[in-house]
Amino acid sequence: MLSVRNLAKSYGALAVLRDVSFDVAAGEILGIAGPNGSGKSTLFNVLTGIPVRADDGEIRFDGREIRNLPAPAIVAAGLVRTFQRETAFETLTSLENVLAGPLHDLRMPSADARRRAEAALDFVGFPAERIGWIAADLSVFDRKRLMIASALALGPKLCLFDEPVAGLAPPEIQAIMAILRRLRDRGTAAILVEHVLPALLGVSDRLMVLHQGVVLATGAPQDVIRDPRVIDAYLGPGRHAA
């Protein structure tokens, strides 16, 4: 479904992504781990064209090259992201936050958009009594769920999650992981960037490790976390003897 080849992105002299290649199959969840600054968020940025584009490489999605498509066209193709920070349209209500995307597509009848938005809010377990609240008044957990709901309301084929559980309490982490599992059961593919390892290993079908903008390892999660290069990258060289 997604096929990335030799992707590169630099900021001036700083090469943030170098020669990144990987695939995501339909319905699969690909986990991505990597130390701070390894380029995970930048990868999401260049995949979706928000707010920057790749310098080089190929991004094929559903058989189509999307690297130079405008951001809204990438969304329309079914590739939708969330942000690392729990982003929302601050002055809009929760419901409006989720409606804004679907309603922007003028071909979609507003009743359909509303049904989608309500279904998405329901899917993430967003409390019904807070759908009229202004987003700025919501808790971090609610904002994270709201951001996920607003992505799902767009009907994505592949959803990119950038640290969806960072900063949450354990029961909240469980709730988000349950959303991701339900999403997989529904057949929606996902890429999950996460520092919280149990969460990452709990839902990923495959794991990829980025380090300084380079793909260190890709494969079954249990194999990847035992890979000596991965252990080096996280703990420093020579620490994997034990």
Residues binding another protein (CB under 8 A) = 48-51, 70-72, 75-76, 80-81, 83, 87-92, 96-97, 99-101, 103-106, 110, 113, 150-151, 154
Phi then psi for residue 79, to 5 deg, are -110, 110
Which residue from 84, 87, 93, 212 is in contact with Mg ion, where contact means CB under 5 A?
A: 84
Nearer residue to ligand ATP within complex by CB, 16 or 59: 16
In the complex, what is the shortest distance from the CB of residue 81 to Mg ion, in angstroms, rounded to a whole number? 12
- Token pair recorded at residue 183: 């999403």
Site for ligand ATP in 13-52 (CB under 6 A): 14, 16, 34, 36-42
Decide which of Mg ion, ligand ATP, another protein, none touches 198; Cβ closer than 5 to 8 Å per partner kind: none
Question: Strands 214-219 and 158-162: what pairing?
Answer: unpaired
In the complex, what is the shortest distance from the CB of residue 106 to another protein, in angstroms, rounded to a whole number? 7
In the complex, what is the shortest distance from the CB of residue 50 to another protein, in angstroms, rounded to a whole number? 5
Phi then psi for residue 38, to 5 deg, are -80, -10
Nearer residue to another protein within complex by CB, 9 or 206: 9
CA distances for 211 relative to 30, 34, 99, 121, angstroms: 16, 6, 37, 35
Segment lying near Mg ion (by CB under 5 A), choices 38-46, 101-109, 167-175, 231-239 = 38-46
In the complex, what is the shortest distance from the CB of residue 174 to ligand ATP, in angstroms, rounded to a whole number? 22
- Of 139, 157, 151, nearest in space to 100 by CA: 151
Nearer residue to ligand ATP within complex by CB, 92 or 201: 201
Site for Mg ion in 164-183 (CB under 5 A): none
Decide which of Mg ion, another protein, ligand ATP, none touches 237; Cβ closer than 5 to 8 Å per partner kind: none
- 164 makes contact with ligand ATP (CB under 6 A): no
Site for ligand ATP in 80-109 (CB under 6 A): 84
Query: What sign does the dihedral 83-84-86-89 (CA atoms) show?
Result: negative
In the complex, what is the shortest distance from the CB of residue 181 to another protein, in angstroms, rounded to a whole number? 24
Query: What sign does the dihedral 99-107-160-15 (CA atoms) show?
Result: negative
CA distances for 14 relative to 8, 9, 17, 212, angstroms: 11, 9, 9, 10
Q: Left, alpha or beta for 163 (phi > 0: left; psi -120 to 50: alpha)? A: left
Residues forming a β-bridge with 79: 158
